[in-house]
Amino acid sequence: MALNNTDVEKIAHLARLQISESDTLEVAQRISNILTMIDQMQNVDTSQVTPMAHPFDASQRLRPDVVTETDQRDYFQKLAPATQDGLYLVPKVIE
Amino acid sequence: MLSKTVAELAIALANKDVSSVELTQAYLDRIAQLNPTLNAYVTTTPDQALAQAAAADALRAAGKAGPLTGIPIAHKDIFCTRDVLTACGSRMLANFTAPYDACVVERLQAAGAVMLGKTNMDEFAMGSSNETSHFGPVQNPWDQTRVPGGSSGGSAAAVAADLCAMATGTDTGGSIRQPASFCGITGLKPTYGRVSRWGMIAFASSLDQAGPLSKSAEDAALMMNVIAGADARDSTCLDIPAEDFTAQLNQPLTGLRIGLPREHFSDGLSTQVQEILQLAISKLESLGATFRDIDLPNNHLSVPAYYVIAPAEASANLSRFDGARFGYRCENPVNLEDMYKRSRGEGFGDEVKRRIMVGTYALSAGYYDAYYKKAQKIRRLIKEDFDTAFHDVDLILGPTSPHTAFKLGEKNSDPVTMYLEDIYTIAVNLAGLPGISLPAGLLNGLPIGMQLVGPALSESRLLNVAHQFQLHTDWHTQRPEV
**Do residues B2 and B26 make contact, with C-beta atoms less than 8 angstroms apart?**
yes
Write the CA distances from B194 to B84, B200, B436, integer angstroms: 26, 14, 14
Pairwise CA distance, residues B246 & B238, whole Å: 20
Residue type, B46: P
* Conformational region of residue B373, where left means phi above 0, alpha means psi within -120 to 50, and beta covers everything else: alpha
Paired strand residues for B81: B84
Nearest to A18, CA basis, from B312, B347, B96: B347
Nearest to B51, CA basis, from B43, B59, B40, B63: B59
ipTM of the complex: 0.95
DSSP 8-state assignment for residue B371: I
Pairwise CA distance, residues A28 & A22, whole Å: 11
Q: Chain A contact for B232, CB < 8 A?
A: yes
Count of structural domains, chain B: 1
- Averaged over successive runs of 10 residues, the pLDDT of chain B (482 residues) comes to 97 98 98 98 98 98 97 98 98 97 98 98 97 98 98 98 98 98 98 98 97 98 97 92 96 98 88 96 98 97 98 98 97 96 98 98 94 97 98 98 96 90 96 98 98 98 98 97 92
Out of A34, A56, A61, name the one closest to residue B358 (CB).
A34
Task: Output the pLDDT for position A57.
Answer: 74
* Conformational region of residue B174, where left means phi above 0, alpha means psi within -120 to 50, and beta covers everything else: left
Contact flag B416-A38 (C-beta cutoff 8 Å): no
Is residue B90 classed exposed, middle or buried when 0-12, 13-18 and 19+ CB atoms within 10 A define those classes?
buried
Q: Which residues contact B473 (CB under 8 A, 6 or more apart)?
A: B280, B283
DSSP 8-state assignment for residue B293: E
Give A-chain residues touching B373 at CB under 8 angstroms: 51
CA distance, residue A29 to nearest chain B CA (Å): 10
Where residue B1 sits, what CATH number does that domain have? 3.90.1300.10
DSSP-H helix ranges across A1-95: 5-14, 21-38, 73-77
Q: Chain A contact for B297, CB < 8 A?
A: no
Task: Count CB atoms within 10 A of the CB of residue B83.
Answer: 13
Q: Is A12 helix (H, G, I), strand (E, B) or coil?
A: helix
Mutation site, B357, B369, B374, B457, interface A, largest A CB count within 10 A: B357
CA distance, residue B298 to nearest chain A CA (Å): 10
Give A-chain residues touching B374 at CB under 8 angstroms: 41-42, 46
DSSP characters for B66-84? Answer: -TTTT-EEEEETTB-BTTB
Task: Output the pLDDT for position A95.
Answer: 67
Task: Output the pLDDT for position A61.
Answer: 80
Contact flag A16-B325 (C-beta cutoff 8 Å): no
Element at B370 (helix H, strand E): none
Pairwise CA distance, residues B363 & A36, whole Å: 17
Task: Count CB atoms within 10 A of the CB of residue B477.
Answer: 13
pLDDT surpassing 80 at residue A79: yes
Q: Is A88 helix (H, G, I), strand (E, B) or coil?
A: strand
Pairwise CA distance, residues B80 & B99, whole Å: 8
Nearest to B150, CA basis, from B128, B168, B172: B128
Pairwise CA distance, residues B331 & B328, whole Å: 10
Pairwise CA distance, residues B173 & B314, whole Å: 13
DSSP characters for B432-474? Answer: T--EEEEEEEEETTEEEEEEEE-STT-HHHHHHHHHHHHHS--
**Do residues B438 and B217 make contact, with C-beta atoms less than 8 angstroms apart?**
yes
Residues 353-392 of B with CB under 8 A from A: 353-354, 356-358, 360-361, 364, 370-371, 373-381, 383
CA distance, residue B89 to nearest chain A CA (Å): 18
CA closest to A79 among chain B residues? B326
Q: Is B190 helix (H, G, I), strand (E, B) or coil?
A: coil
How does the average pLDDT of chain A come out, rounded? 92
Task: Find the domain containing B479 and state its range.
Answer: 1-482
Pairwise CA distance, residues A65 & B343, whole Å: 35
Task: Output the pLDDT for position B267.
Answer: 72
**Do residues B416 and A33 make contact, with C-beta atoms less than 8 angstroms apart?**
yes
Pairwise CA distance, residues B396 & B292, whole Å: 10
Residues 168-227 of B with CB under 8 A from A: 192-193, 206
Paired strand residues for B213: B167, B187
Contact flag A61-B333 (C-beta cutoff 8 Å): no
Pairwise CA distance, residues B161 & B155, whole Å: 10
Residue type, B196: S
Contact flag B415-A58 (C-beta cutoff 8 Å): no
Pairwise CA distance, residues B371 & B354, whole Å: 16
Pairwise CA distance, residues B37 & B60, whole Å: 35
pLDDT tens-digit map of A38-65: 999 999 999 999 999 888 877 778 888 9
Residue type, A18: Q
CA closest to A23 among chain B residues? B350
Write the CA distances from B456 to B68, B160, B238, B435, integer angstroms: 26, 28, 11, 10
pLDDT tens-digit map of B431-455: 999 999 999 999 999 999 999 999 9
Query: For A14-23, A27-36, A52-61, which range has the lowest pLDDT when averaged over its residues?
Result: A52-61
**Do residues B69 and B140 make contact, with C-beta atoms less than 8 angstroms apart?**
no
Task: Output the pLDDT for position B272.
Answer: 93
Residue type, B274: Q
CA closest to B433 among chain A residues? A55
DSSP 8-state assignment for residue B137: P
Give A-chain residues touching B356 at CB under 8 angstroms: 15, 17
Give B-chain residues touching A44 at CB under 8 angstroms: 298, 301, 378, 381
Pairwise CA distance, residues B87 & A79, whole Å: 13
DSSP 8-state assignment for residue B213: E
Q: Is B136 helix (H, G, I), strand (E, B) or coil?
A: coil
Task: Output the pLDDT for position B193.
Answer: 96
Nearest to B69, CA basis, from B57, B81, B84: B57
Out of A16, A18, A44, name the one closest to residue B301 (CB).
A44
pTM recorded for the entire structure: 0.97
Domains of chain A and any CATH numbers:
5-42 (1.10.20)
Q: How many CA atoms lie within 13 A of B54 on its CB side?
A: 5
CA closest to A27 among chain B residues? B354
